[in-house]
Structure 1
Amino acid sequence: MLSKQGLCSRTEAARWIEAGRVEVDGRIVRDPEFPIVQGRQRVRVDGRELDAAPRLYLMLNKPRGLVTTTQDERGRDTVYRCFDGSGLPWIAPVGRLDKASEGLLLFSNDPAWSAAITDPDTGPDKTYHVQVDAVPDEALLEALVRGVEVEGEYLRARAVRLLRSGERNAWLEVVLDEGRNRHIRRLLAEFDLAVLRLVRVAVGTLALGELPKGQWRRLDDVEVAALSRIHKNP
């Protein structure tokens, strides 16, 4: 319930409860699985009544070299460094980009909205611009769309096209309708293509645009609604 209210993550909520900071109807509860009927019971944290946090929907132009997590056990810089000094309440990444990847990363404190965006069956497509260490021909681009089995998973792209090329490398536009762990890197590696740079440029109709690296902005109501109306292309 604390997480669904947009107040914190489920992990953080469990810590609050186990530390004795949460009361239900005047009694401290230390069991994170204690059943709650929202609206019927009075819940306090540190003695204060709860109010649902205002819903936030943000986009960040993630720089390369940051990990998409709240805390990193190896002490690496995380994406939350980009929000230092912002005064924002708790927000969580909507999906993720690996450390070496860049570009559009969504954040929200609305778990239902986030789940809809990341749902592989109904969520919006994600578009990437990918620099590779060769110039693939049309047959190879078609093979990436057909896909291949990699370590028990079938990896494929929804669409791939050549954006531009030089003598030794090329930029591809790759569209995914689902996002498995290191999906693009693993798929391209099966065809002997190494990724030199990977930038997510769009989620559904929401484009990264001219947002500077490491900067963030709030989504407007139209953008939030557009992403909420989830439609897979046929």
Structure 2
Amino acid sequence: MARSAKGGTGNRVTITRALSKLGYCSRTQAERLLAEGRISVAGKPVTDFDTWVDIRSDRIEVDGRAVAAEEKVYVMLNKPRGLVTTRDDPEGRETVFSRLEGTGFGFLSPVGRLDKASEGLLLFTNDTVFAQRLLDPATHVPKVYHVQVGGHLDDRQARQLETGVLVEGETWRAASVRVIRQGEKNTWLKVTLEEGRNRQIRRMLEAIGVECLRLVRVAIGEIELGDLPKGDVRRLTTDEIAILRKATGF
């Protein structure tokens, strides 16, 4: 039975959160459905945003059709530069979801973000618990980036990124930094993070006076981008899903 009181087990969530957890739609889309009177619980229409349901036992319907948990889907995208990691962009910019159109994967959400100027490995899933575990800093799942910077980065600067850089009054660190190769005008670095701060690498480099020219995420844990063409998506293999689950203790 739907209730408006909070509490209970992890299966009890708000109606909008329930539709998201079940992989039916985003919470924003669920709010629209609710406002339009298209959702019912146990055969009774609901319009209260504070309605709580048990996703395991309550019958939730949209337009008279029962909503069941979707098959869990896990995919990776090789994100091109210039796409924003959002479902709808008020500025009309192309989003990462344009690369999922026509795939038949259903409703998916990105696991974390890559900013517009960044490229590389971006995961999507409808498994919200899995996504939360993967993003939790306590699980220490490393993210690996190849970063091109202007000029030559010396050993002192590389060590500084590891020991700590002051950004807006806080000390931010990279788990490891090493030089991959150097040219006459730029340097490629391999940077590993175990945190998930907004634009962390770019802001750390800026703090030590180094220009970030290009940033490509190449791995999350043991899952590598590999030779997936830019802009393409593919399902994670059963082994890859198991590796990430083991890494998160899920």
TM-score by length of 2: 0.89
Aligned counterpart for 2:221 among listed residues 204, 211, 226: 204
Change (3 A) 1:25 1:231: closer
Greater alpha carbon shift after TM alignment, 210-219 vs 130-139: 130-139
**Given that residues 126 and 176 in structure 1 are in contact (C-alpha distance below 8 angstroms), is that contact kept between their aligned partners in structure 2?**
yes
Mapping of residues 15-54 of structure 1, within 5 Å? 15-54=32-71
Q: Match for residue 170 of structure 2? A: 153
Change (3 A) 1:112 1:123: farther
Shift of 1:126: 0.1
Asked whether 1:98 is paired with 2:109, we answer no
1: CA distance between counterparts of 2:98 and 2:204? 30
Asked whether 1:225 is paired with 2:242, we answer yes
Change (3 A) 1:231 1:111: closer
Larger RCO (CA under 8 A, 6+ residues apart)? 1
Q: Match for residue 25 of structure 2? A: 8
Q: Residue type matched to 1:37 in 2?
A: D
Q: Residue type matched to 1:32 in 2?
A: F
2: CA distance between counterparts of 1:106 and 1:39? 26
Mapping of residues 176-191 of structure 1, within 5 Å? 176-191=193-208
- The structure 1 segments of at least 4 consecutive aligned residues displaced by more than 3 Å after TM superposition are none
Aligned counterpart for 1:109 among listed residues 122, 126, 143: 126
Shift of 1:170: 0.5
Aligned counterpart for 1:63 among listed residues 59, 67, 80: 80
TM-score by length of 1: 0.95
Give me the identity figure in percent. 50
Shift of 1:83: 1.4
1: CA distance between counterparts of 2:89 and 2:137? 26
2: CA distance between counterparts of 1:192 and 1:5? 46
Asked whether 1:127 is paired with 2:127, we answer no
2: CA distance between counterparts of 1:109 and 1:15? 20
Q: Residue type matched to 1:129 in 2?
A: H
**Given that residues 116 and 123 in structure 1 are in contact (C-alpha distance below 8 angstroms), is that contact kept between their aligned partners in structure 2?**
no
Shift of 1:43: 1.4
User: How many residues get paired?
Assistant: 232
**Given that residues 166 and 207 in structure 2 are in contact (C-alpha distance below 8 angstroms), is that contact kept between their aligned partners in structure 1?**
no
What root-mean-square deviation, in Å, do the aligned CA atoms of Structure 1 and Structure 2 show? 1.3
Deviation string for 1:35-79 (max 9, x for gaps)? 212343321111001221111000000000000000001110000
